[in-house]
Chains A and B, each alone.
Chain A
Amino acid sequence: MNGRKDLLDIESLSVEEINYLLETAGPFKNLIRQSVKKMPPLRGRHVLTLFYEPSTRTRSSFEIAAKRLSADVTNFTVSTSSVVKGESIIDTIDTLQAMQVDYIIVRHGAAGVPNLIAKHTRASVINAGDGHHAHPTQGLLDAFTIKEVLGPLTGRRIAIIGDIQHSRVARSTSMILRKLGAQVGVFGPGPLIPEDRHPDMQSFRTFDEVFDWQPEVIYLLRIQTERQKEQFFPSLHEYHRLYGVTDERLNYIRGKGIYIMHPGPVNRGVELVDGVMTYERTLINLQVENGIAARMAVLYWLQPETGSQRE
Protein backbone atom coordinates (compact mmCIF):
# COMPACT_ATOMS: atom_id res chain seq x y z
CA MET A 1 0.00 0.00 0.00
CA ASN A 2 1.81 3.11 -1.20
CA GLY A 3 1.27 6.20 0.87
CA ARG A 4 -0.13 9.44 -0.45
CA LYS A 5 1.50 12.80 -0.09
CA ASP A 6 -1.41 14.45 1.76
CA LEU A 7 -4.44 13.62 3.84
CA LEU A 8 -7.01 16.34 3.12
CA ASP A 9 -10.38 14.62 3.54
CA ILE A 10 -12.07 11.25 3.88
CA GLU A 11 -13.80 11.57 0.53
CA SER A 12 -10.64 10.96 -1.49
CA LEU A 13 -9.64 7.83 0.45
CA SER A 14 -10.46 4.42 -0.93
CA VAL A 15 -11.97 1.78 1.34
CA GLU A 16 -8.71 -0.12 0.97
CA GLU A 17 -6.71 2.86 2.18
CA ILE A 18 -9.07 3.41 5.09
CA ASN A 19 -8.75 -0.21 6.12
CA TYR A 20 -4.98 -0.02 5.87
CA LEU A 21 -4.93 2.97 8.21
CA LEU A 22 -7.31 1.34 10.69
CA GLU A 23 -5.30 -1.88 10.67
CA THR A 24 -2.05 0.00 11.27
CA ALA A 25 -3.51 2.04 14.12
CA GLY A 26 -4.20 -1.13 16.16
CA PRO A 27 -0.56 -2.23 16.50
CA PHE A 28 0.48 1.37 17.25
CA LYS A 29 -2.00 1.44 20.10
CA ASN A 30 -0.71 -1.87 21.46
CA LEU A 31 2.88 -0.70 21.27
CA ILE A 32 2.03 2.42 23.27
CA ARG A 33 0.22 0.35 25.85
CA GLN A 34 3.27 -1.90 26.16
CA SER A 35 6.51 -0.47 27.33
CA VAL A 36 7.43 1.04 23.95
CA LYS A 37 6.65 4.73 24.08
CA LYS A 38 8.80 5.76 21.17
CA MET A 39 9.52 4.25 17.75
CA PRO A 40 12.03 5.32 15.14
CA PRO A 41 10.31 5.49 11.70
CA LEU A 42 10.13 9.30 11.53
CA ARG A 43 13.58 9.90 12.97
CA GLY A 44 15.12 12.97 11.34
CA ARG A 45 11.75 14.15 10.01
CA HIS A 46 10.26 17.45 11.01
CA VAL A 47 6.58 17.98 11.73
CA LEU A 48 5.07 21.44 11.93
CA THR A 49 1.67 22.18 13.42
CA LEU A 50 0.07 25.24 11.90
CA PHE A 51 -3.13 26.13 13.71
CA TYR A 52 -5.08 29.22 12.71
CA GLU A 53 -7.88 28.21 15.07
CA PRO A 54 -7.48 27.42 18.74
CA SER A 55 -7.21 23.76 19.64
CA THR A 56 -5.49 22.09 22.52
CA ARG A 57 -6.59 18.52 22.09
CA THR A 58 -6.09 17.95 18.42
CA ARG A 59 -2.76 19.74 18.37
CA SER A 60 -1.48 17.84 21.41
CA SER A 61 -2.70 14.58 19.96
CA PHE A 62 -0.77 15.19 16.72
CA GLU A 63 2.25 16.34 18.67
CA ILE A 64 2.30 13.21 20.82
CA ALA A 65 1.76 10.99 17.77
CA ALA A 66 4.66 12.63 15.92
CA LYS A 67 6.98 12.44 18.92
CA ARG A 68 6.19 8.77 19.51
CA LEU A 69 7.40 8.19 15.95
CA SER A 70 10.61 10.10 16.81
CA ALA A 71 9.87 13.14 14.65
CA ASP A 72 10.84 16.64 15.70
CA VAL A 73 7.84 18.90 16.24
CA THR A 74 7.52 22.65 15.95
CA ASN A 75 4.33 24.45 16.85
CA PHE A 76 3.67 27.46 14.68
CA THR A 77 1.54 29.58 16.91
CA VAL A 78 -0.60 31.97 14.98
CA SER A 79 -1.11 34.69 17.56
CA THR A 80 2.65 35.26 17.85
CA SER A 81 3.45 34.79 14.17
CA SER A 82 3.52 37.12 11.22
CA VAL A 83 -0.07 36.21 10.43
CA VAL A 84 -1.14 39.07 12.64
CA LYS A 85 1.13 41.28 10.57
CA GLY A 86 -0.90 40.40 7.50
CA GLU A 87 1.34 37.80 5.91
CA SER A 88 -0.61 35.79 3.33
CA ILE A 89 -0.97 32.03 3.61
CA ILE A 90 1.20 31.49 0.54
CA ASP A 91 3.95 33.67 1.99
CA THR A 92 3.80 31.66 5.18
CA ILE A 93 4.07 28.44 3.19
CA ASP A 94 7.12 29.71 1.33
CA THR A 95 8.71 30.44 4.67
CA LEU A 96 7.87 26.98 5.99
CA GLN A 97 9.11 25.38 2.79
CA ALA A 98 12.44 27.11 3.30
CA MET A 99 12.54 25.67 6.82
CA GLN A 100 12.55 22.18 5.28
CA VAL A 101 9.71 20.70 7.26
CA ASP A 102 8.42 17.32 6.09
CA TYR A 103 4.87 17.35 7.43
CA ILE A 104 2.49 20.27 7.95
CA ILE A 105 -0.56 19.73 10.13
CA VAL A 106 -2.96 22.55 9.47
CA ARG A 107 -6.19 23.81 10.96
CA HIS A 108 -7.94 26.81 9.52
CA GLY A 109 -11.34 28.44 9.77
CA ALA A 110 -11.79 28.46 6.00
CA ALA A 111 -12.52 25.34 3.99
CA GLY A 112 -9.89 24.48 1.39
CA VAL A 113 -6.88 26.12 3.01
CA PRO A 114 -5.13 22.75 3.56
CA ASN A 115 -5.65 21.91 -0.13
CA LEU A 116 -4.12 25.26 -1.08
CA ILE A 117 -1.13 24.65 1.16
CA ALA A 118 -0.70 21.09 -0.14
CA LYS A 119 -0.45 22.41 -3.70
CA HIS A 120 2.36 24.77 -2.78
CA THR A 121 4.64 22.56 -0.76
CA ARG A 122 6.56 19.31 -1.10
CA ALA A 123 5.80 18.55 2.55
CA SER A 124 2.92 16.21 3.41
CA VAL A 125 -0.13 18.16 4.52
CA ILE A 126 -2.61 16.78 7.03
CA ASN A 127 -5.91 18.57 7.41
CA ALA A 128 -6.65 18.93 11.13
CA GLY A 129 -9.95 20.69 10.42
CA ASP A 130 -10.84 23.31 7.83
CA GLY A 131 -13.99 25.34 8.32
CA HIS A 132 -17.11 23.23 7.89
CA HIS A 133 -15.37 21.01 5.39
CA ALA A 134 -13.39 18.10 6.82
CA HIS A 135 -11.53 16.66 9.78
CA PRO A 136 -10.27 13.36 8.40
CA THR A 137 -8.21 12.17 11.38
CA GLN A 138 -11.29 12.59 13.57
CA GLY A 139 -13.19 10.38 11.14
CA LEU A 140 -10.43 7.78 11.27
CA LEU A 141 -10.24 7.72 15.06
CA ASP A 142 -14.02 7.48 15.33
CA ALA A 143 -14.21 4.60 12.88
CA PHE A 144 -11.32 2.89 14.68
CA THR A 145 -13.05 3.33 18.05
CA ILE A 146 -16.41 1.99 16.87
CA LYS A 147 -14.71 -0.93 15.16
CA GLU A 148 -12.84 -1.69 18.35
CA VAL A 149 -16.04 -2.06 20.39
CA LEU A 150 -18.45 -3.38 17.76
CA GLY A 151 -16.26 -5.22 15.24
CA PRO A 152 -16.87 -4.83 11.50
CA LEU A 153 -19.03 -1.80 10.70
CA THR A 154 -21.23 -3.31 8.02
CA GLY A 155 -24.88 -2.76 8.91
CA ARG A 156 -24.13 -0.99 12.21
CA ARG A 157 -26.34 1.97 13.11
CA ILE A 158 -24.84 5.20 14.32
CA ALA A 159 -26.94 8.27 15.13
CA ILE A 160 -25.16 11.63 14.95
CA ILE A 161 -26.84 14.35 16.98
CA GLY A 162 -26.30 18.10 16.92
CA ASP A 163 -25.27 20.75 14.43
CA ILE A 164 -24.77 18.54 11.40
CA GLN A 165 -24.77 21.46 8.98
CA HIS A 166 -21.71 23.23 10.32
CA SER A 167 -19.79 20.24 11.62
CA ARG A 168 -16.68 19.00 9.83
CA VAL A 169 -16.63 16.17 12.37
CA ALA A 170 -20.12 15.09 11.29
CA ARG A 171 -19.07 15.31 7.65
CA SER A 172 -15.87 13.28 7.98
CA THR A 173 -17.17 10.76 10.49
CA SER A 174 -20.44 10.06 8.67
CA MET A 175 -18.54 9.67 5.41
CA ILE A 176 -16.02 7.17 6.72
CA LEU A 177 -18.71 5.16 8.53
CA ARG A 178 -20.83 4.96 5.41
CA LYS A 179 -17.80 4.01 3.30
CA LEU A 180 -17.27 1.11 5.69
CA GLY A 181 -20.87 -0.04 5.29
CA ALA A 182 -22.48 1.44 8.41
CA GLN A 183 -25.84 3.23 8.45
CA VAL A 184 -25.79 6.79 9.66
CA GLY A 185 -28.82 8.73 10.90
CA VAL A 186 -28.88 12.39 11.90
CA PHE A 187 -30.85 14.41 14.42
CA GLY A 188 -30.70 18.04 15.49
CA PRO A 189 -32.41 21.42 15.22
CA GLY A 190 -34.18 21.64 11.84
CA PRO A 191 -32.04 24.40 10.30
CA LEU A 192 -28.89 22.46 11.25
CA ILE A 193 -29.80 19.31 9.31
CA PRO A 194 -28.41 19.67 5.77
CA GLU A 195 -31.00 19.33 3.02
CA ASP A 196 -28.38 18.11 0.59
CA ARG A 197 -27.12 15.23 2.74
CA HIS A 198 -26.76 11.81 1.17
CA PRO A 199 -30.21 10.23 0.65
CA ASP A 200 -29.10 7.17 2.62
CA MET A 201 -28.79 9.28 5.71
CA GLN A 202 -32.06 9.21 7.56
CA SER A 203 -33.08 12.15 9.72
CA PHE A 204 -35.24 12.12 12.85
CA ARG A 205 -37.63 14.66 14.35
CA THR A 206 -37.48 13.60 17.99
CA PHE A 207 -35.11 11.76 20.30
CA ASP A 208 -37.72 9.02 20.58
CA GLU A 209 -37.48 8.49 16.83
CA VAL A 210 -33.72 8.10 17.23
CA PHE A 211 -34.30 5.43 19.89
CA ASP A 212 -36.91 3.68 17.73
CA TRP A 213 -34.28 3.35 14.99
CA GLN A 214 -32.25 1.27 17.49
CA PRO A 215 -28.79 2.76 17.03
CA GLU A 216 -25.79 1.01 18.56
CA VAL A 217 -23.88 4.25 18.94
CA ILE A 218 -25.08 7.76 19.67
CA TYR A 219 -22.55 10.36 18.56
CA LEU A 220 -23.07 13.77 20.14
CA LEU A 221 -21.58 16.81 18.45
CA ARG A 222 -20.28 19.74 20.40
CA ILE A 223 -22.39 22.88 20.28
CA GLN A 224 -19.92 25.47 19.13
CA THR A 225 -21.19 28.52 20.86
CA GLU A 226 -18.20 30.51 19.59
CA ARG A 227 -19.10 29.73 16.00
CA GLN A 228 -22.78 30.33 16.45
CA LYS A 229 -23.39 33.85 15.21
CA GLU A 230 -26.89 33.16 14.08
CA GLN A 231 -29.27 31.61 16.57
CA PHE A 232 -30.46 28.24 15.36
CA PHE A 233 -32.14 27.23 18.62
CA PRO A 234 -33.69 29.31 21.39
CA SER A 235 -31.28 28.58 24.27
CA LEU A 236 -28.75 26.06 25.55
CA HIS A 237 -31.30 24.92 28.09
CA GLU A 238 -33.79 24.28 25.31
CA TYR A 239 -31.13 22.49 23.28
CA HIS A 240 -30.42 20.18 26.19
CA ARG A 241 -34.11 19.42 26.68
CA LEU A 242 -34.68 18.53 23.02
CA TYR A 243 -31.33 17.19 21.73
CA GLY A 244 -29.19 16.45 24.79
CA VAL A 245 -28.66 13.23 26.69
CA THR A 246 -30.69 13.94 29.84
CA ASP A 247 -30.78 11.72 32.93
CA GLU A 248 -33.95 10.10 31.67
CA ARG A 249 -32.49 9.40 28.25
CA LEU A 250 -29.28 8.10 29.84
CA ASN A 251 -31.37 5.52 31.72
CA TYR A 252 -32.85 4.33 28.45
CA ILE A 253 -29.40 4.30 26.80
CA ARG A 254 -27.95 2.30 29.69
CA GLY A 255 -30.80 -0.18 29.49
CA LYS A 256 -30.14 -0.75 25.79
CA GLY A 257 -26.35 -0.75 26.12
CA ILE A 258 -25.94 1.99 23.52
CA TYR A 259 -22.45 3.49 23.23
CA ILE A 260 -21.96 7.26 23.51
CA MET A 261 -19.31 9.22 21.65
CA HIS A 262 -18.36 12.89 21.53
CA PRO A 263 -15.40 14.59 19.85
CA GLY A 264 -14.74 16.74 22.93
CA PRO A 265 -14.49 19.01 24.72
CA VAL A 266 -17.97 18.40 26.12
CA ASN A 267 -20.37 21.08 27.31
CA ARG A 268 -21.79 19.45 30.42
CA GLY A 269 -25.45 20.14 30.82
CA VAL A 270 -25.83 20.94 27.11
CA GLU A 271 -25.02 17.90 24.92
CA LEU A 272 -25.00 15.57 27.90
CA VAL A 273 -25.47 15.35 31.67
CA ASP A 274 -22.62 14.62 34.09
CA GLY A 275 -23.77 11.02 34.46
CA VAL A 276 -22.72 10.28 30.88
CA MET A 277 -19.08 10.83 31.76
CA THR A 278 -19.13 7.91 34.19
CA TYR A 279 -21.45 5.70 32.12
CA GLU A 280 -19.50 2.51 31.35
CA ARG A 281 -20.24 2.66 27.63
CA THR A 282 -19.06 6.21 27.11
CA LEU A 283 -16.22 6.07 24.62
CA ILE A 284 -15.06 9.68 24.95
CA ASN A 285 -11.75 8.88 26.68
CA LEU A 286 -11.16 5.95 24.38
CA GLN A 287 -11.57 8.34 21.44
CA VAL A 288 -8.79 10.51 22.86
CA GLU A 289 -6.48 7.54 23.32
CA ASN A 290 -7.26 6.15 19.87
CA GLY A 291 -6.72 9.57 18.32
CA ILE A 292 -3.00 9.26 18.98
CA ALA A 293 -2.78 5.80 17.42
CA ALA A 294 -4.83 6.86 14.37
CA ARG A 295 -2.63 9.92 13.82
CA MET A 296 0.50 7.79 14.16
CA ALA A 297 -0.88 5.54 11.43
CA VAL A 298 -1.49 8.57 9.19
CA LEU A 299 1.98 10.05 9.75
CA TYR A 300 3.55 6.65 9.14
CA TRP A 301 1.63 6.20 5.91
CA LEU A 302 2.05 9.58 4.24
CA GLN A 303 5.05 10.14 1.99
CA PRO A 304 6.36 13.67 1.83
CA GLU A 305 8.24 14.70 -1.31
CA THR A 306 10.90 16.44 0.72
CA GLY A 307 14.54 15.47 1.04
CA SER A 308 16.11 12.25 -0.18
CA GLN A 309 13.83 9.31 -0.72
CA ARG A 310 15.59 6.39 0.85
CA GLU A 311 15.50 3.26 -1.24
Chain B
Amino acid sequence: MESPGQQLLSPREIDTRIHRLAYEILERHPKEKFILVGIHRRGVPLAQRLAKVLEDERPGVETGMLDITLHRDDPQKATFSPDFGKTKLPHDLDGTLVILVDDVLFTGRTIRAAIDALFEYGRPSKIELAVLVDRGCREVPIQPDYCGLRQTIGRESYLRVRLREQDGHDGLFLVDNKHQAP
Protein backbone atom coordinates (compact mmCIF):
# COMPACT_ATOMS: atom_id res chain seq x y z
CA MET B 1 0.00 0.00 0.00
CA GLU B 2 1.55 3.30 -1.02
CA SER B 3 1.46 6.07 1.53
CA PRO B 4 -0.56 8.89 -0.02
CA GLY B 5 1.68 11.72 1.20
CA GLN B 6 0.55 15.29 1.66
CA GLN B 7 -2.07 16.41 -0.83
CA LEU B 8 -1.07 19.52 -2.76
CA LEU B 9 -3.97 19.54 -5.21
CA SER B 10 -7.34 17.82 -4.95
CA PRO B 11 -8.99 16.24 -7.99
CA ARG B 12 -11.20 19.32 -8.29
CA GLU B 13 -8.22 21.66 -8.10
CA ILE B 14 -6.38 19.69 -10.76
CA ASP B 15 -9.38 20.11 -13.01
CA THR B 16 -9.44 23.87 -12.35
CA ARG B 17 -5.72 24.21 -13.09
CA ILE B 18 -6.08 22.33 -16.35
CA HIS B 19 -8.96 24.62 -17.37
CA ARG B 20 -6.87 27.66 -16.50
CA LEU B 21 -3.92 26.35 -18.54
CA ALA B 22 -6.20 25.79 -21.51
CA TYR B 23 -7.54 29.32 -21.39
CA GLU B 24 -4.12 30.85 -20.99
CA ILE B 25 -3.06 29.04 -24.15
CA LEU B 26 -6.15 30.29 -25.94
CA GLU B 27 -5.58 33.83 -24.71
CA ARG B 28 -2.07 33.87 -26.11
CA HIS B 29 -3.11 32.28 -29.40
CA PRO B 30 -6.62 33.51 -30.18
CA LYS B 31 -6.30 32.78 -33.88
CA GLU B 32 -3.16 30.75 -34.49
CA LYS B 33 -3.43 27.00 -34.97
CA PHE B 34 -1.39 24.85 -32.61
CA ILE B 35 -0.78 21.22 -31.73
CA LEU B 36 -0.68 19.91 -28.15
CA VAL B 37 2.08 17.32 -27.76
CA GLY B 38 2.10 15.32 -24.52
CA ILE B 39 5.32 13.79 -23.22
CA HIS B 40 5.04 10.17 -22.02
CA ARG B 41 3.76 9.18 -19.67
CA ARG B 42 1.49 11.65 -17.91
CA GLY B 43 1.90 14.49 -20.36
CA VAL B 44 -0.16 12.44 -22.80
CA PRO B 45 -3.48 12.42 -20.89
CA LEU B 46 -2.86 16.02 -19.88
CA ALA B 47 -2.59 17.11 -23.51
CA GLN B 48 -5.79 15.22 -24.28
CA ARG B 49 -7.59 16.91 -21.41
CA LEU B 50 -6.44 20.33 -22.54
CA ALA B 51 -7.77 19.53 -26.00
CA LYS B 52 -11.07 18.49 -24.48
CA VAL B 53 -11.40 21.73 -22.54
CA LEU B 54 -10.69 23.62 -25.75
CA GLU B 55 -13.18 21.57 -27.75
CA ASP B 56 -15.87 24.31 -27.73
CA GLU B 57 -13.57 27.16 -28.64
CA ARG B 58 -11.25 25.17 -30.86
CA PRO B 59 -13.06 22.13 -32.20
CA GLY B 60 -10.68 19.42 -33.36
CA VAL B 61 -7.51 20.88 -31.86
CA GLU B 62 -4.73 18.47 -32.76
CA THR B 63 -2.84 16.39 -30.22
CA GLY B 64 0.20 14.16 -30.34
CA MET B 65 2.43 12.11 -28.06
CA LEU B 66 6.17 12.05 -27.72
CA ASP B 67 8.57 9.47 -26.32
CA ILE B 68 11.92 10.98 -25.41
CA THR B 69 13.80 7.81 -24.33
CA LEU B 70 16.26 7.91 -27.24
CA HIS B 71 17.03 11.57 -26.65
CA ARG B 72 17.83 11.39 -22.93
CA ASP B 73 21.25 12.63 -21.91
CA ASP B 74 21.74 9.41 -19.92
CA PRO B 75 20.62 6.85 -22.53
CA GLN B 76 22.37 3.89 -20.92
CA LYS B 77 20.42 4.42 -17.74
CA ALA B 78 17.08 4.29 -19.47
CA THR B 79 15.00 1.29 -18.48
CA PHE B 80 12.53 -0.32 -20.81
CA SER B 81 9.18 1.39 -20.68
CA PRO B 82 6.02 0.32 -22.48
CA ASP B 83 5.97 3.77 -24.07
CA PHE B 84 9.34 3.25 -25.74
CA GLY B 85 9.15 4.53 -29.30
CA LYS B 86 5.50 5.51 -29.00
CA THR B 87 5.73 8.86 -30.69
CA LYS B 88 2.61 9.75 -32.63
CA LEU B 89 2.15 13.05 -34.39
CA PRO B 90 -0.68 13.86 -36.83
CA HIS B 91 1.73 15.32 -39.42
CA ASP B 92 5.24 16.68 -39.74
CA LEU B 93 5.93 19.78 -37.74
CA ASP B 94 7.28 22.16 -40.38
CA GLY B 95 5.94 25.63 -39.62
CA THR B 96 3.70 24.34 -36.79
CA LEU B 97 3.23 25.95 -33.38
CA VAL B 98 3.87 23.14 -30.91
CA ILE B 99 2.84 23.28 -27.28
CA LEU B 100 4.68 20.63 -25.28
CA VAL B 101 2.70 19.30 -22.32
CA ASP B 102 4.10 17.53 -19.25
CA ASP B 103 2.99 16.96 -15.69
CA VAL B 104 6.01 18.07 -13.64
CA LEU B 105 8.84 20.41 -14.58
CA PHE B 106 11.88 19.58 -12.44
CA THR B 107 15.47 19.56 -13.76
CA GLY B 108 14.35 20.54 -17.26
CA ARG B 109 16.32 17.67 -18.82
CA THR B 110 13.19 15.92 -20.05
CA ILE B 111 12.10 19.06 -21.87
CA ARG B 112 15.56 19.50 -23.38
CA ALA B 113 15.29 15.95 -24.71
CA ALA B 114 11.73 16.58 -25.90
CA ILE B 115 12.76 19.63 -27.91
CA ASP B 116 15.53 17.55 -29.45
CA ALA B 117 13.05 14.79 -30.30
CA LEU B 118 10.56 17.21 -31.86
CA PHE B 119 13.11 18.37 -34.40
CA GLU B 120 13.23 14.83 -35.80
CA TYR B 121 9.77 15.53 -37.15
CA GLY B 122 10.35 18.87 -38.84
CA ARG B 123 11.03 22.50 -38.01
CA PRO B 124 8.26 23.91 -35.81
CA SER B 125 7.58 27.64 -36.14
CA LYS B 126 7.64 27.86 -32.36
CA ILE B 127 7.69 25.55 -29.33
CA GLU B 128 6.04 26.47 -26.03
CA LEU B 129 5.80 24.55 -22.79
CA ALA B 130 2.79 23.90 -20.57
CA VAL B 131 3.17 22.03 -17.25
CA LEU B 132 0.82 21.18 -14.43
CA VAL B 133 3.48 21.79 -11.75
CA ASP B 134 6.81 23.62 -11.75
CA ARG B 135 8.72 22.37 -8.71
CA GLY B 136 11.99 24.25 -9.34
CA CYS B 137 15.53 22.77 -9.11
CA ARG B 138 16.38 23.39 -12.77
CA GLU B 139 19.62 22.04 -14.20
CA VAL B 140 19.22 23.58 -17.67
CA PRO B 141 17.87 27.03 -18.62
CA ILE B 142 14.30 26.07 -19.50
CA GLN B 143 11.15 27.81 -18.23
CA PRO B 144 7.47 27.05 -18.76
CA ASP B 145 5.18 29.32 -20.77
CA TYR B 146 2.10 28.02 -18.96
CA CYS B 147 2.14 26.63 -15.44
CA GLY B 148 -0.69 25.26 -13.28
CA LEU B 149 1.14 25.41 -9.95
CA ARG B 150 4.49 26.87 -9.00
CA GLN B 151 5.97 25.50 -5.79
CA THR B 152 9.61 24.96 -4.97
CA ILE B 153 10.17 21.50 -3.61
CA GLY B 154 13.57 20.24 -2.48
CA ARG B 155 15.35 17.41 -4.22
CA GLU B 156 14.90 15.09 -1.26
CA SER B 157 11.14 15.05 -1.77
CA TYR B 158 9.10 13.38 -4.44
CA LEU B 159 6.02 14.66 -6.22
CA ARG B 160 3.43 12.04 -6.98
CA VAL B 161 1.06 12.92 -9.80
CA ARG B 162 -1.99 10.77 -10.34
CA LEU B 163 -4.26 11.07 -13.36
CA ARG B 164 -7.43 9.05 -13.73
CA GLU B 165 -6.62 7.89 -17.27
CA GLN B 166 -3.56 6.03 -16.03
CA ASP B 167 -4.03 5.70 -12.29
CA GLY B 168 -7.80 5.61 -11.80
CA HIS B 169 -7.88 8.84 -9.83
CA ASP B 170 -6.57 12.41 -9.88
CA GLY B 171 -4.28 13.97 -7.31
CA LEU B 172 -1.00 15.70 -6.59
CA PHE B 173 0.88 14.60 -3.49
CA LEU B 174 4.13 15.49 -1.79
CA VAL B 175 6.04 12.47 -0.51
CA ASP B 176 8.79 13.53 1.90
CA ASN B 177 10.93 10.48 1.71
CA LYS B 178 12.28 9.92 -1.75
CA HIS B 179 12.58 6.22 -1.02
CA GLN B 180 8.84 5.77 -0.82
CA ALA B 181 8.61 6.88 -4.43
CA PRO B 182 7.21 6.52 -6.92
A residues within 8 Å of B by Cβ? 1, 3, 20, 23-24, 26-28, 30-31, 34-36, 39-42, 300, 303, 309-311
User: What is the minimal beta-carbon distance from A140 to any residue of chain B, in angstroms?
Assistant: 15
CB-based contact A24/B80 at 8 Å: yes
By beta carbon, the residue of chain A nearest B86 is A27
By beta carbon, the residue of chain A nearest B113 is A40
Q: Which of B10-18, B70-78, B148-156, B158-166 contacts A (4 or more CB under 8 A)?
A: B70-78
By beta carbon, the residue of chain B nearest A20 is B80
User: What is the minimal beta-carbon distance from B71 to any residue of chain A, in angstroms?
Assistant: 6
CB-based contact B85/A31 at 8 Å: yes
User: What is the minimal beta-carbon distance from A238 to any residue of chain B, in angstroms?
Assistant: 48
A-B contact count (CB 8 A): 44
CB-based contact B76/A28 at 8 Å: no
CB-based contact A303/B76 at 8 Å: yes
B74 / chain A contacts, CB cutoff of 8 Å: 310-311
User: What is the minimal beta-carbon distance from A148 to any residue of chain B, in angstroms?
Assistant: 15
CB-based contact B92/A24 at 8 Å: no
CB-based contact B116/A40 at 8 Å: yes
CB-based contact B70/A40 at 8 Å: yes
CB-based contact A30/B70 at 8 Å: no
Query: What are 27 residue pairs bridging A and B, where the CB atoms are less than 8 Å apart in the complex?
Result: A3-B76, A20-B80, A23-B80, A24-B80, A27-B67, A27-B84, A27-B86, A28-B85, A31-B70, A31-B85, A31-B87, A35-B92, A35-B120, A36-B120, A39-B70, A39-B120, A40-B70, A40-B75, A41-B70, A41-B72, A42-B75, A300-B75, A309-B76, A310-B73, A310-B74, A310-B77, A311-B77
CA–CA, A28 and B86, complex, Å: 10
A310 / chain B contacts, CB cutoff of 8 Å: 73-74, 76-77
Contact partner, A40, options B67, B71, B76, B80, Cβ 8 Å: B71
CA–CA, A309 and B121, complex, Å: 29
B residues within 8 Å of A by Cβ? 67, 70-77, 79-80, 84-87, 92, 116, 120-121
CA–CA, A300 and B71, complex, Å: 12
**Which of B72, B76, B77, B80 has most A Cβ within 10 Å?**
B76
A27 / chain B contacts, CB cutoff of 8 Å: 67, 84-86
B79 / chain A contacts, CB cutoff of 8 Å: 1
CA–CA, A40 and B181, complex, Å: 30
CA–CA, A27 and B87, complex, Å: 10
B121 / chain A contacts, CB cutoff of 8 Å: 35-36
Interface of A, secondary structure class, is loop
User: What is the minimal beta-carbon distance from A240 to any residue of chain B, in angstroms?
Assistant: 42
CA–CA, A23 and B85, complex, Å: 11
B75 / chain A contacts, CB cutoff of 8 Å: 40-42, 300
CA–CA, A215 and B87, complex, Å: 37
By beta carbon, the residue of chain B nearest A70 is B70
User: What is the minimal beta-carbon distance from A304 to any residue of chain B, in angstroms?
Assistant: 9
B86 / chain A contacts, CB cutoff of 8 Å: 27
CA–CA, A299 and B101, complex, Å: 31
**Which of A1, A30, A34 has most B Cβ within 10 Å?**
A34
B80 / chain A contacts, CB cutoff of 8 Å: 1, 20, 23-24
Q: Shortest 6 CB-CB distances between A and B: which pairs?
A: A27-B85, A41-B75, A39-B70, A27-B84, A36-B120, A41-B70
User: What is the minimal beta-carbon distance from B98 to any residue of chain A, in angstroms?
Assistant: 16
CA–CA, A62 and B130, complex, Å: 40
By beta carbon, the residue of chain B nearest A31 is B85
**Which of A20, A27, A300, A309 has most B Cβ within 10 Å?**
A27
CA–CA, A20 and B84, complex, Å: 12
CA–CA, A36 and B75, complex, Å: 18
CA–CA, A27 and B67, complex, Å: 11
By beta carbon, the residue of chain B nearest A27 is B85
CB-based contact B85/A30 at 8 Å: yes
**Which of A40, A303, A309 has most B Cβ within 10 Å?**
A40
A311 / chain B contacts, CB cutoff of 8 Å: 74, 77
By beta carbon, the residue of chain A nearest B78 is A41
By beta carbon, the residue of chain A nearest B79 is A1
CA–CA, A28 and B72, complex, Å: 16
CB-based contact B84/A24 at 8 Å: yes
CA–CA, A40 and B115, complex, Å: 13
B84 / chain A contacts, CB cutoff of 8 Å: 23-24, 27
B85 / chain A contacts, CB cutoff of 8 Å: 26-28, 30-31
CA–CA, A20 and B82, complex, Å: 11
B87 / chain A contacts, CB cutoff of 8 Å: 31, 34
A31 / chain B contacts, CB cutoff of 8 Å: 70, 85, 87
